[in-house]
Amino acid sequence: MTVTGYAAPLTDMRFVLEHVVDIGALAALAGFEHADPATVIGILEEAGRFFAEQLAPLNRVGDVQHSRRNDDGSVTTPEGFAKAYQRYVDAGWPAVPFPPEYGGGGFPWVVAVAMQEVMTAANMAFSLCPLLTQGAIDMLLHYGSEEQRETYLSKMVTGEWTGTMNLTEPQAGSDVGALTTRAVPADDGSWRVTGQKIFITYGEHDLADNIVHLVLARVPDAPPGTKGISCFIVPKVLVAADGSLGPRNAVECVSIEEKMGINASPTCVMAYDGATGFLVGEANQGMRYMFKMMNTARLSVGLEGLSLGERAYQQAVAYAAERRQGQAPGASAGSAIVDHPDVRRMLLTMRAQIEALRCVAYLTAECMDLAARHPDASVREARQELADLLTPISKGWGTDLGVELTSIAVQVHGGMGYVEETGVAQHYRDIRIAPIYEGTNGIQAIDLVGRKLGLRDGAAVTELLDAIAATAAEAIGAGDDLNVIGIALDGAQHALRQATTWLRQASADGRHDDVLAGATPYLRMAGVVAGGWMLARSALAASAIQGEATFTDEFLAQKTVTARFYATQLLPQAAGLLPAVTAGVEDLAAARF
């Protein structure tokens, strides 16, 4: 039994980019003129080939070998990782979405998100190093000084240097305000940073010459809690005025965590002992700055659910086609398990949710692009609000689905799925971290109900619900197979609207515990409905272009099959979640543990 490889789902990615979101419209925006659909699709085809060939074969290698810390504090990544990373840099992939003035390609973020899907599916543990670097770049682009950007960004954009995010401490996990790392000013305008950070992804490694750590710390006389947190650049190796590397900074990896999954990714405990740091922006504003980096990262983490779900699905389909067991209804001899109705249900459940999640994630990224570049201020505001609403859904629902999808893939494999030889268990182990890091999914749910539902006094979520209702009406009016999709979607959006109204009223009444008690089922409900909305749009788009040469008729027909299955068998979960959203806190408060 060999581990199945990975092929980027380029046809489906292209369909979503061209007909669910609109990359053609993005190319009309200033600065994106070069990002026409043909160019974008060409980039993604090459990226799919590169990551499948260079990274996918190392996925199992990294899981078996792990990264290891050496006695001198250095870290050695698994065999082949350093060479693959150098090829990744040499090919220019890290630079694609970043500004040309720092050596980037200047492509829309939705292109970066599509590339991230493929890279993460090929090798999640490898992908974490570039993704953390992307987040650090994004934060410095917005809040770093011109000198800091000139010093660090060009090397980070090319991937020659990598970046990290240093928030967590042993006593300060989700409660970041409890951190105790300290920074004191030095005579030369720099700072001296002292403290310990844990769970630092790629905090030390052998892939690049320098690592640019972004470290949260407290300055003297800082206010308590999150209001007193500042952000510092603390490079592994100090950078001279001419850009050359100087002496090693006083920062060290003291250990690497032994983990359930993503074993090739070194999760480091980092010690800062009077390390030289440079303040980013203003003192005591670090948490606000870091949220910029975290919001970008949260979409990327949601993509991890999509990516590993897709890879596990491909493996499950291949296994189901070759594994013969029992006799399917109507068969005269032994059958491949793909012919059994229950196995087909599992596979179609996977496919429907993967396609729904891909649409939601790409839409979120498209909204980010429009919020940044559209010439109309009202459009920018509306798209930013929609991105704000969809980000916790993409992260929370997306990573919950990732765990569920990879678990289904194990089930399709039967007993062999529980055996490491097939490789499918690794996907399940790897993705289990995703609902936890970059803000647990409980925190995503609290963010959604506590902050995002109140955007523009509730108008933003109302406009989203109205858009979903409009798609439902369009599908109902289209008749035939689309009618049943529209009817199911309309019922689901009514249930979500009712839950939204209840939560907003409970918040207005000061019943905050009731709101918090309903947050997690509400996030799930919102994800299920958003996915149904996107698949309805997919089915409508597929119907509209039936007969065009770009996609086969069978591919387009399957869009309706998938959307109808989701609408009739998965979307009803939304109404079923309404009682959980509106139950209130009473039973939770009465329980004794």
Is residue 36 packed enough to be buried (19+ CB in 10 Å), middle (13-18) or exposed (0-12)? middle
Q: List the catalytic residue out of 33, 438, 548, 586.
A: 438
Whether 424 contacts 312, CB under 8 Å: yes
What is the CB neighbour count within 10 angstroms for residue 116? Answer: 25
The terminus-to-terminus CA distance of the chain in angstroms comes to 45
Measured CA distances, 171 to 167, 168, 199, 248, 454 (Å):
11, 8, 12, 28, 31
- Could you give the 3-state DSSP secondary structure of residue 582? coil
Cα angle 375, 376, 378; round to 5: 145
Q: Which of 206, 200, 371, 184 is nearest to 279 (CA)?
A: 184
Q: Is 438 a catalytic residue?
A: yes
Whether 468 contacts 527, CB under 8 Å: no
Residues ≥6 apart with Cβ < 8 Å to 188: none
Crossing angle for the helix pair 377-412 and 341-373, to the nearest 10 degrees:
160
Residue 526: both structure tokens together: 């919102």
> Which residues in 366-408 belong to E strands, given as ranges?
none
Q: Cα separation of 486 and 391, whole Å? A: 25
What is the CB neighbour count within 10 angstroms for residue 446? Answer: 18
Is residue 240 packed enough to be buried (19+ CB in 10 Å), middle (13-18) or exposed (0-12)? exposed
List active site positions. Answer: 438
